[in-house]
Amino acid sequence: MTMKYQLRKLIMSAAATLSALSLNAAGDIEINNLGVNNTLVRIKGDSRYVLLPVQESNEDARINVIVDGKIVETIYVRMATSRTDFTVPYDLSPYKGKNVILDVVTPQSRSSVREAKGDVCWKNISLTDTLDLTDRELQYRPLFHHTPQYGWMNDPNGMFYKDGVWHLYYQWNPYGSKWQNLSWGHSTSTDLINWEHQPVALTPDGLGYIFSGSSAIDHNNTAGFGEDAVVAIYTSAGTNQMQSLAYSNNDGADFTVLTSNPIITLESEARDPNFFWNEQTGEWNLALAHALDHEMLFFTSPDLKNWTLQSSFGKGLGAQDGVWECPDLFRLPVDGTDKEKWVLICNINPGGPFGGSGVQYFVGDWDGKKFTVDTDADGKVPTKWLDHGKDNYALVSWSDTPDGRRTAIGWMSNWDYAAEVPTSQYRSANTLPRELSLFTASDGQIYMANVPSPEVISLRDRLVTSVKNSSLNSKDKVYNLPAVNDGVCEFTVDFNAETADSIMMTLSNKAGEHVDMVYNPATHTLSFDRRNSGNVGFSDAFPVVTVAPTHETDGKVSLRVFIDRSSIELFGNEGRFSMTNLVFPTHPYTTLEIKSLGGKARMSNLRIYSIKLY
């Protein structure tokens, strides 16, 4: 080898190490590794989406989207380093024909640029015009519950009904399956069962992420946004939290964000505004969670833009072990009579009945400015929970519903483990839609009942099992769940405990995994044990037994149970008690076994239905 040749080789290899530039696998994206944790990604092709490779276990990279030299958006994505778990699409269509650069700052410390260059995301990043949205979560994605098409979801929020369409917005991360980039995802339905995915409705802006809030139709045009404008008020979560307004003149498809936002500011953490038109007082009312103070604040307004603080409620009352979030305030008839009471929902996390998050509520009166809570015979304020499972949170109701309905929906997960559940293409579903009402229980207290919305009945397909009347003893009666759709079903059953100490229902699969539900007439409780229900190991907080008060005095319960792959919802005695629990069996449950212990009991009207989507 000559000296000259050796010198040339040396110069070439020095140039190679110094050159930041490389290309992705397809050659239509230019990668400039500028340093150990900074890379410029230049989009060369003309496609609609760039697919960003994600590795869930990584920390978020910060990506500034630079269009013709200006930052138009900042998003956070767990860019893949050693393995691509899945990709998330970033929509380039608004920037067609412009220069798009992603300025990526990765959090991983790299010993050298050479190492940073080796991150798999630079090779796997790609352009596409079409998205492959094929469901990869066949084992656990529910069949008849609302789920996001992909990405992380928490609270349902901003829901309203207009012209036959139920609008459901939700806290959504379009760029990953953990909490981040909070936007308002949007789905619509004409029957509360079949949901159509709509384009994202609100995305983070200069004031911050778009946290939870509510929407209503401004029928009297009090704000001047136009006839029947849909108004959304939500929390802008930047360095601190403040409340902002956006309105829509096309039925909630697109929102115009008020340029004079925020509309409510406070010195301390407050979020999740929930507002409604109060016909009795002729003004707008708004409840706001004063999260760390464990209370709700109440405001009034003539025009949705100017709000006056009127009062607060909740300090020292009810469950106080967590932040108060997502309020809802509405009127309901009591026991189906003309008598009415107000309900104030105060979601709380942690401090829920079985750890983590839960739906707490208070019953009382509302005069348009102040909430006064009902007390029990001893003058105390009882703590009340809407659901006695572990997986119903941030439940709030639709505004502008027809026929005086109070229809609500909750996020079917728990902050204890929501980011760890064994799904990744989508993370979390919503509960079934439910109708709320009030009833007086034997302790003299008024409680809130919730039953599946009437539309849910249309899901019933074939009656696969029907038992009119049967005596129960300690020998299991065994029934098969429908084979179609891997056991997804609804079943109803009535029990009379007679001389039995308890009645037990067990769902099980071929792997020996099981869920045990036990009705105990002496303690007036129904328990749900998911400790052996399947994959329970992803969080210590998951394997639990949840217990509901049955509110009966005669040893009789009527149950309606919905099994949808990874969720079980149980409604008892016309919704006087309910339980929502997630389960992740490694194989679908195939059988339902029923027996009584310590004596004989009677079972009637067992009906198992397969489910159809239409």
Instruction: Give catalytic residue positions.
Output: 155
Give the CA-trace dihedral at 138, 139, 143, 147, to 10 degrees. Answer: -80
> Structure tokens of 341?
């009471």
The residue among 235 and 550 lying less far from ligand FRU, judged by its C-beta, is: 235
Give CA–CA dist 423/556, Å, rounded: 38
Q: Which residue has the tokens 């229900």?
A: 533
Tell me the DSSP string of 49-94. EEEEEE-TTSPPEEEEEEETTEEEEEEEE-B-SS---EEEEEE-GG
**DSSP secondary structure letter of residue 476:** P
Cβ count near 391 (within 10 Å): 34
Give CA–CA dist 242/239, Å, rounded: 10
User: What ranges make up the beta strands (E) of 83-229?
Assistant: 86-91, 100-105, 126-128, 151-162, 165-173, 183-189, 196-202, 209-217
Parallel, antiparallel or unpaired: strands 426-427 and 151-162: parallel
Give 252: exposed, middle or buried? Use CB within 10 Å, 0-12, 13-18, 19+.
buried
Give CA–CA dist 279/283, Å, rounded: 7
> Structure tokens of 127?
């352009």
Residue ranges that bind ligand FRU, judged by CB under 6 A: 154-155, 171, 182, 211-212, 235, 271-272, 325-326, 394
Residue nearest ligand FRU, Cβ-based: 211
DSSP H or E stretch at residue 313: strand 308-313
218 and 275 Cβ atoms separated by less than 8 Å: no
The residue among 154 and 573 lying less far from ligand FRU, judged by its C-beta, is: 154
204 and 246 Cβ atoms separated by less than 8 Å: no
Rg (CA), the chain: 27
Question: In 3D, which of 566, 546, 564 has the Cα closest to residue 421?
Answer: 566
Type of residue numbered 245:
L
Parallel, antiparallel or unpaired: strands 545-549 and 601-611: unpaired
343 and 361 Cβ atoms separated by less than 8 Å: yes
